[in-house]
Chain A
Amino acid sequence: MNPTIEFPTIEYATLAPLLLVFGAAILGVLVEAFAPRYLRKSFQVPLTLLSLIGAFALVIVQVVRGDLPTGPVAMGALAIDGPTLFIWGVILVLSAVCVLLINDEGHFVASAASVPGSADEEGAERAGHEHTEVYPLALFAVGGMLMFPAANDLLTMFVGLEVMSLPLYLLCGLARRRRLLSQEASMKYFLLGAFSSAFFLYGAAMVYGYAGTVSFAGISQAMAQGALLDPLLLLGFSLLGVGLLFKIGAAPFQAWKPDVYQGAPTPITALMASGTLVAAVGALLRVFWVGLGNLDWNWRPVLWVVAALTMMVGAVIAITQTDIKRMLAYSSIAHAGFLLVGVLATYDTGAGNAVSLQAILFYLLVYGVATVGAFAIVTLVRDPGGEANHLSRWAGLGKRAPILSGVFAFFLLAFAGIPLTSGFFGKYALFTAAIGSGQEAGDSLGAWMTGLVVVGVIASAIAAFFYVRVIVLMFFNEPAADGPAIAVPSTGTVTVITLSLLVTVGVGVFPEPVLQLANTAASSLFIR
C-alpha cells in the first residue's frame, strides 16, 4: 500500500494577525528591491503602520467574536488562546507606537556600510539617504515576537526566537550618532544572543531525547508517566531556562542588556524593552507552565533564586548609573525580576494560576507602555552630537522644559509603582498573586513566596530611590548654561508620549477595565 500524505490544515482566520505582519514584512522587502529610493519611505511607513494596526484589529475581532480555538492550530505548531491573544494585542500596540518613533528623522544611519567619519558617510548624509530597510526588519522582529509566545512546540519556539532576534541584532547597529557604540552593542547582542539560543536549542534536543517529541503537550504527558529525575530532562530544562532567561534579561544573564540598550538607536531600545520582554515572558510561561509544569519542584527553587537575584541586581546596580538609557536598562532588569515573581506565583492548576497569569499580563501591558513613553522622551533631549544621555545633562531640565520633565517624572513614578500610576496596580496585583498562591499550597512554599515578595518590596524601595533621584535632579537643580536642547517633537513622538501618558494615568486611576480584560484572557489559561 502506498503511504498517503495528509494535507495539513491551517486555520488561516485564527492566524491572520501573524500572517498579516509577516506578509507586510515580505512586501516591505519587495518595496526595497523595486521602488526607487525617493519613494520607499512613503511606501514603507503606511505599509508598516497599517499592517500593525490591521493585525491589532484582527486580534480585537477574534476577541469580540470569542470563538477561540480549543486546541492548538496549524497542526499543533501554535496555540492561540486567551493569554496569547492578550500578549499579541500588547505587542502590536507597543510595536505600532515604536514604529512612530522609528519614523522620526535622525535616528538611523544614512549608510550602514560606510565607515564612521569617512567621506562616504558624509556624502550619504548630505544626499539625504536613509535606510528604509528598518521598517521590514522591524516588522520581521514583530512577527517573531508574535510567534515566540504562541509557539506550541520547541521547534516553533526556536524559529520564533530567531526570527525575533536576528532583525533586532541588525537594528541595534544602525544608530546615526555614536556609531561605534551602536556597532559594539550590535556585536555584543549578536554574539551573546546566538550563544544563548544555542543553549536553548541543546536544551530542546535533550528534552526531545527524553520525551520523544518537541510539542509541549507531549513533553508534559511524557513527564506525567516517566521518571522526573532523568538527567536528560534536568539538563534540558536547565539549558532551555538559560536561553529564555537570557532573553528576558534575568540575572545572571543580564550583562548584555545595559550595553545593548545604551548603544542601540533609542526607538529600537524602546521596541526591545517593551516588545521583546513581553514576548519572552510569554514564551517563558509557556515552557515552564505548559511544557515543564510537572517539573515544578525542580524549577521552582532555581527560578526563586534567579528572581530574587534579578530584582536586587537590577535595582542596586541602577543606582550607580550615570547614563539615562543604561539606568532604564537596569530598571528593565529589575522589572524582569518582578515578572519572574509572577511566573513562580502558581501552585495548583486552575484558579490560582489564573490570578497570577492575570497579574503578569496586566504588568506586561503597563510596564511596556510606560517604557515606550520614557524612551520617547529620551529621544527629545539632545546635544549637538546626538541625544544627551548622560544624567548630569538632565540637571535642571524641569526649569527649561517643565511639561516634558513632568511627564518623564510621571513615567519614572510609574516604574517605581507609586499609587495613582499604572505601575502601582501592576506591582500590587503581582505581589498579591504571589502571596495568595503560597497560602493555597498549605506548606513551606507559602513562606518561600512571602520571602520572595519581601525581597521584591525591598528591591522596589531601592529602585524608587534612583527613580526619585532623577526627578530631584531634573526639578531641584539649576540648569547648566550650555544645557541640552529640547528637540521640537514630531507629531509621531507627541502621539507616542500622549498615548503612553494617557494609558499610564488612565490605568492608574481606573485599573478595573484592563484588569478585567487581563482576567478574561487569563481565565482560559494556556491550552495544551
Chain B
Amino acid sequence: MTTNYLILSGLLFSIGAVGVLIRRNAIVVFMCIELMLNACNLAFVTFARQVGNLEGQIVAFFVMVVAAAEVVVGLAIIVTIFRTRRSASVDDANLLKY
C-alpha cells in the first residue's frame, strides 16, 4: 500500500517546514530543510512505484546529489557566520531589516 508512504512523506515534510519556522539555530533549521528534501525523495520513490515507471527514482538520485552540494554550501556559510558572531542563532543576525 503506497498511501502510507505518502502520508509519512507528508508528515516528514510538515515537520521539516514547521521546524524551519520555529527553530532558532541555523544548523537545526538547515537540518529541517534537509528533512523536507528527504520527504520529497520519499514521495518521488513512492509515486514511481505507484505509476510504475523509473522517473521518480531517477529524480531521487539527483535530489540526493543536489542536497549534498547544498550541505557543502550551507555549512560553509553557517560556519563563517558562527566564527564571526560566536552564535549560529538566526535571531542574532538582525542587522538587515525594514
Chain A residues within 8 Å of B, Cβ to Cβ? 112-113, 115-116, 154-155, 158-159, 162, 166, 169-170, 173, 179-181, 183-188, 190-191, 194-195, 198-199, 201-202, 204-206, 208-209, 212-214, 258-259, 262-263, 320
Decide: A184 near B53, CB < 8 A? Known: A198-B16, A198-B33, A201-B37: no
**Can you spell out 30 A-B residue pairs with CB atoms less than 8 angstroms apart?**
A159-B66, A162-B69, A162-B70, A166-B70, A169-B73, A169-B77, A170-B76, A181-B96, A187-B26, A187-B77, A188-B93, A188-B96, A194-B74, A195-B17, A195-B20, A198-B36, A199-B36, A201-B37, A202-B36, A202-B40, A202-B43, A204-B59, A206-B43, A208-B51, A208-B55, A209-B43, A209-B51, A212-B47, A214-B59, A263-B96
Decide: A205 near B66, CB < 8 A? Known: A169-B77, A180-B95, A214-B55: no
Interface string of B47-78 (1 = CB under 8 A from A): 10011110110110011001001100110111
Decide: A187 near B93, CB < 8 A? Known: A155-B62, A162-B69: yes
Cα–Cα, bound, A191→B31 (Å): 10
Decide: A198 near B84, CB < 8 A? Known: A205-B44, A213-B55: no
Cα–Cα, bound, A214→B93 (Å): 38
Decide: A173 near B80, CB < 8 A? Known: A184-B96, A190-B74, A262-B96: yes
Q: B97 is contacted by which of A183, A187, A259 (Cβ under 8 Å)?
A: A259
Q: Given A169-B77, A208-B56, list of 5 further CB < 8 A pairs?
A: A179-B84, A180-B85, A184-B96, A187-B26, A188-B96
Chain B contact residues, majority secondary structure = helix
Instruction: Report if B15 contacts A (CB, 8 A).
Output: no
In the complex, how many angstroms separate the beta carbon of A185 from the nearest chain B beta carbon? 6
Contacts of B43 in A (CB 8 A): 202, 205-206, 209
Question: Which residues of chain B in 1-60 are interfacial with respect to chain A, using CB atoms and an 8 Å cutoff?
Answer: 6, 9, 13, 16-17, 20, 26, 29-30, 33, 36-37, 39-40, 43-44, 46-47, 50-53, 55-56, 58-59
Q: B77 is contacted by which of A116, A173, A205, A263 (Cβ under 8 Å)?
A: A173
Q: How many residues of B contact A (CB 8 A)?
A: 48
Chain A contact residues, majority secondary structure = helix
Cα–Cα, bound, A257→B6 (Å): 34
A187 touches B78 (CB 8 A): yes
A191 touches B26 (CB 8 A): yes
Q: Of all chain A residues, which has the CB nearest B60?
A: A205
Cα–Cα, bound, A113→B77 (Å): 10
Contacts of B83 in A (CB 8 A): 115
Contacts of A212 in B (CB 8 A): 47, 51-53
B80 touches A194 (CB 8 A): no
Decide: A208 near B59, CB < 8 A? Known: A166-B69, A184-B95: yes
A183 touches B96 (CB 8 A): no
In the complex, how many angstroms separate the beta carbon of A16 from the nearest chain B beta carbon? 23
Q: A191 is contacted by which of B16, B33, B53, B95 (Cβ under 8 Å)?
A: B33
Decide: A198 near B73, CB < 8 A? Known: A173-B80, A184-B81: no
Cα–Cα, bound, A154→B90 (Å): 31
Cα–Cα, bound, A241→B95 (Å): 30
